[in-house]
């Protein structure tokens, strides 16, 4: 009997959380991983690490322009044409300083595009291909920052808020189909993206990745990682403005 390999695509594969997800998935005996990145050399280092963990795994590297709609569409179409996609994890992003984004509109634009526009373009491209195949799970990494705008990171939060609304729309679109859409909302996590922030209280990337991989396998619609953030953000979302506006968060 022919063994059907699971094909997982990770966009932004060298991000801290994505790397840890890849290290969990690579342990599966029959797995094909396609790692999509901007920097081929950096992505190849991850491939070398994963290959040691599972020499039998098929691992591919794809590089593309993450801000070009044309290139995104072509890249996703090529990946899906080669092998049907079981799971697509869209994980890339960057965290620029809020004050710098307020003072430099170019950095503001960059934050919105990298964390908001680019992920939803990838999501739409994968959604198109999964709809044709009538299969697949599309997982998008948003952030707890997208649940309510706060003065400390509202540019980044606005981009992640876009990802949240987009994922919700895709969930509604595919509600009566075999296609699953998973919205992932990590809390502050210790990764290279947050290296400039105080590290106390940040979640470990491998623990967050474990929660994500498990949640995707369970078919959850929304994954808070760690899970405590579901409660924390529910409180923050429902705080009246006259109380919320007094908080220094």
Question: How many angstroms separate the CA atoms of 220 and 215, rounded?
Answer: 5
The string of pLDDT tens digits covering residues 164-198 is 999 999 999 999 999 999 999 999 998 877 767 77
DSSP assignments along 84-100, one per residue: --SEEEE-------HHH
pLDDT given at position 1:
39
pLDDT of 153-169, one tens digit each?
A: 999 999 999 999 999 99
Q: Report, as an integer, the average pLDDT of 53-69.
A: 96
Question: Looking at residues 94-122, what average pLDDT do you find?
Answer: 97
Q: How many CB atoms lie within 10 A of CB 202?
A: 15
Phi, psi of 149 (to 5 degrees): -65, 130
DSSP string, 208-238: HHHHHHHHHHTT-SEEEESTHHHHHHHHHHH
* Global pTM value: 0.94
Q: What is the pLDDT of residue 4?
A: 60
Domains and CATH numbers, the chain: 6-244 (3.40.50.720)
Per cent of the chain over pLDDT 70 is 98
159, with CB counted inside 10 A (0-12, 13-18, 19+), is buried
* Cβ–Cβ < 8 Å for 66, 110: no
Q: Please report the DSSP string for 133-158 in residue order.
A: HT--EEEEE--GGGSS--TTTHHHHH
Collapsed DSSP state (helix, strand, coil) of residue 80: helix
**Nearest to residue 59, comparing CAs of 72, 43, 75?**
43
Query: pLDDT tier at 213 (50, 70, 90 boundaries)?
Result: very high
Could you tell me the two tokens for 91?
Answer: 């994980």
Q: How far is the C-alpha of 47 from the C-alpha of 34, rounded, in Å?
A: 10
């Amino acid at each position: 009997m022919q063994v059907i390999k699971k094909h997982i695509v990770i966009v932004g594969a060298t991000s801290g959380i994505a790397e840890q997800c890849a290290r969990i998935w690579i342990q599966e005996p029959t797995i094909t991983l396609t790692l999509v990145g901007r920097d081929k050399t950096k992505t190849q280092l991850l491939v070398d690490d994963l290959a040691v963990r599972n020499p039998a795994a098929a691992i591919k590297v794809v590089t593309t322009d993450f801000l070009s709609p044309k290139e995104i569409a072509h890249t996703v179409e090529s990946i899906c044409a080669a092998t049907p996609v079981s799971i697509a994890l869209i994980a890339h992003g960057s965290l620029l300083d809020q004050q710098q984004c307020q003072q430099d509109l170019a950095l503001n634009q960059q934050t919105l595009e990298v964390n908001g526009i680019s992920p939803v373009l990838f999501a739409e491209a994968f959604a198109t291909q999964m709809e044709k195949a009538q299969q697949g799970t599309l997982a998008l990494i948003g952030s707890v920052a997208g649940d309510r705008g706060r003065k400390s990171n509202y540019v980044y939060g606005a981009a992640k808020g876009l990802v949240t609304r987009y994922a919700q729309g895709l969930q509604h679109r595919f509600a009566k189909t075999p296609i699953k859409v998973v919205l992932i909302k990590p809390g502050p996590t210790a990764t290279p993206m947050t290296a400039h922030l105080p590290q106390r209280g940040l979640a470990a990337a491998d623990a967050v990745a474990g929660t994500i991989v498990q949640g995707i396998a369970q078919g959850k619609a929304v994954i808070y990682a760690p899970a405590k953030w579901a409660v924390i953000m529910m409180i923050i979302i429902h705080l009246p403005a006259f109380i919320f506006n007094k908080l220094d968060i």
